[in-house]
Amino acid sequence: MGIRSKAGLGTGFGIFGILFIFATIRVLVDEIQRHKGVTKDLLVAQERMRELGLDVSSVDEQYELSKKPVKEEEVVKGPVV
Rounded to the nearest 5 percent, the helix, strand and coil shares of the chain are 80, 0, 20
DSSP label at 53? T
For 48-75, the pLDDT digits (tens) are: 988 888 887 887 888 888 888 767 666 6
Q: Give the residue from 55, 71, 51 showing the smallest Cα distance to 63.
A: 55
Residue 41: CB atoms within 10 A of its CB come to 10
State the pLDDT at residue 79: 66
For 17-53, the pLDDT digits (tens) are: 999 999 999 999 999 999 999 999 999 988 898 888 8
pTM: 0.55
For the chain, the structural domain boundaries read 24-64
Coil, helix or strand for 72? helix
